[in-house]
Amino acid sequence: MAATIKDIVAMTGLSLGTVSKYLNGYPVKEKNKALIEETIERLDFNVNLFARGLRTKESKSIGFIVPSLELTFSTKIVAVIERELAEHGYTVIICVVTGDSKADQAKLQNLAYQRVDGLLVIPPPNNLLLQQWLERMVKSIPIIVLDRLFKNSTLKHFVLVDNATAAFKATELLIEAGHHDIGIILGDTGGFTTDERLKGYLQALSHYNIPIKEEYQVYGKYRKAEGYKACEQLLSLTNRPTAIFVTNYDMTLGILECLNEHDVKVFDDISLIGFDLDEISKVINPNLTIVTQPVNEVGYYTAQAILKSLKDDAVEQEIKVFECSIQEGASIKEI
């Protein structure tokens, strides 16, 4: 079997992101560059890909556009999908598109030169350039969009989780425990996922006739440092919330750090619900109540769906929606 990017990662011990950066023409540390080039030569990586492309008229590669390799959700999804596609002989080429128009345009052009057989996309919010580029690309290769829904689009295949329902249920848990002053820490302003989680939160408050307070709605851009700042903002309020619902993993880490540094104890002083992955619940005392996304299921489905699309050009439009679950811990105090 021909060598894959997974083989290079395994042999070098470097991260998938570092190897992908090099293969996509971006600079990496000199020592990493030398190690990757030596491994490519030993594995005959380039020769295998080139020869296979001549024989099959396929690149045997899938492009994966992500908003960041620093976000836990993105890296987890990439890992699951890369593993599944590698088993079918496909290489994943990662392209990070952040919203910087000039840089993004160059990256997307470079990705097009790679002649990938299909595209998987986790779009950053409010990126019209990327959406327009995808509308052109979908005429020639299959594309699956994850974690976002484009309206009025020629793109056919979307993979989502039901963020609104997940946020409703999480907020409802806090309300049932007697909390009415509930803060929420959201991601990027205007992002599809952010808007859906905010919608579920607001629907729960309205359903239980609890007044909506805008000062309790803070944005943390899905990053740890921003989550820390958002938590500080809530703690500084005169009538600070008795509970916080944070809507992603990286921000949950930032909030825990903020609470610790301000000597605010989870459960005793403030109730908390986290989001994304349940690993954190196992190392925090008290263990957190967590909204968990079915990352493995989403990744497996997406890998199988793109493989099917490569064989069948007549795939009908599909919006696949997965349900989140809530792992209840001991971080919610009844009041």
What confidence tens digit (pLDDT) does each residue in 45-95 have? 643 333 334 334 578 999 999 999 888 888 999 999 999 999 999 999 999
pLDDT at 53: 40
Partnered with residue 118 across adjacent β-strands are 62
The correct answer on CATH 3.40.630.30 for the domain covering 5-161+295-322 is no
Average pLDDT in the 92-104 region? Answer: 91
Position 235 pLDDT exceeds 50 = yes
Residue 207: pLDDT above 50?
Answer: yes
What proportion of the chain, given as a percentage, has pLDDT over 90? 62
pTM of the predicted model as reported, rounded to 2 decimal places: 0.80
Q: What is the pLDDT of residue 52?
A: 38
* Spatial distance between the Cα atoms of 177 and 172, rounded to a whole number of angstroms: 9
Mean pLDDT of 94-115: 88
Structure-token pair, residue 76: 């987890």
Q: How many degrees, rounded to 5, is the angle at CA 42 between CA 38 and CA 43?
A: 115
Does the pLDDT value for residue 13 go beyond 60? yes
Lowest mean pLDDT among 31-45, 201-215, 238-252, 259-273: 31-45
The residues spanned by each domain of the chain are 5-161+295-322, 163-293
Q: What is the identity of the amino acid at 54?
A: L
The reply to whether 5-161+295-322 and 163-293 are identical in fold is: yes
Between 50 and 44, the more confident residue is 44
Classify 163-293 by CATH class. alpha beta
Coil, helix or strand for 220?
Answer: coil
* Residue of 143, 98, 147, 156 lying closest to 116 (CA atoms): 143
Give the pLDDT confidence of 283-328 residue by residue, as tens digits: 788 899 999 999 999 999 999 999 999 987 666 679 999 999 999 9
Q: What is the mean pLDDT of residues 166-173?
A: 98
Q: Is the link from the previous residue into 286 a cis peptide, with omega within 30 of 0? A: yes
Give the DSSP per-residue string, 167-215: HHHHHHHHHHTT---EEEEE-STT-HHHHHHHHHHHHHHHHTTPPP-GG
Residue scoring higher pLDDT (268 or 55) = 268
* Maximum pairwise Cα distance, the chain: 69
Q: Which of 209, 210, 215 is nearest to 230 (CA)?
A: 215
